[in-house]
Amino acid sequence: MTAPDAFHPDLPPHEDGGEGVPPLRARLHHVRADALDGDTAQTGGMRRFAAISGGTVGSERIWMGQTHVAPGTASANHHHGVSETAIHVVKGHPEFVFLDDSGGTPEEVRIRTSPGDYIFVPPYVPHREENPSPDDEAVVVIARSTQEAIVVNLPELYVLGGDTGRS
């Protein structure tokens, strides 16, 4: 492959020192809805499926997929490590729960959503997803700033940076 042209002056070389773009990163990838990968980090009460990841398309800095929350269930408490997480509600009315102490006392906050809504989850913020509907599954699309889906399951919610009594 030739060196970058005037339209791509900052195109980096291959990791192995070669010129040009690695084959997986030189084309678009189509991931069909029926080809999502369920072999990803999981949290009780929900099921995650990877669409865009290092394993599926060779991505290096982003992870994207779907999460399904069954009717009448709640996920385990968890956070996503260093990853920023953006969530787009596709189906149902999932609720996102976290603790907030901006008023001086930790208080459980419940964000109720509808299809078309977005949620942003900052790094390390403990939270859980709930689907209060007794009949309908909730489905969300998730994008993360890390290449893989980081999930750290927790025994309880706590305020990030607050005094949790842990040492």
Q: What is the pLDDT of residue 78?
A: 92
148 and 53 Cβ atoms separated by less than 8 Å: yes
pLDDT for residue 5 is more than 60: no
Site of tokens 């997986």: 24
Instruction: Give pLDDT, residue 127.
Output: 95
Q: Which residues contact 105 (CB under 8 A, 6 or more apart)?
A: none
pLDDT at residue 32 is higher than 70: yes
Q: What is the pLDDT of residue 164?
A: 46
What is the model's pTM?
0.76
What pairs with residue 113 in β-bridges?
none
Mean per-residue pLDDT over the chain, rounded:
82
What integer pLDDT is reported at residue 167 of this predicted model? Answer: 35
What's the mean pLDDT in 76-95?
A: 95
* Cβ proximity of 65 and 142 under 8 Å: yes
Q: What is the CA radius of gyration of the chain?
A: 19
* Across 54-63, 127-136, 150-159, least confident range: 54-63
Q: What is the mean pLDDT of residues 140-157?
A: 89
Could you tell me which of 105, 155, 157 has the C-alpha nearest to residue 127? 157
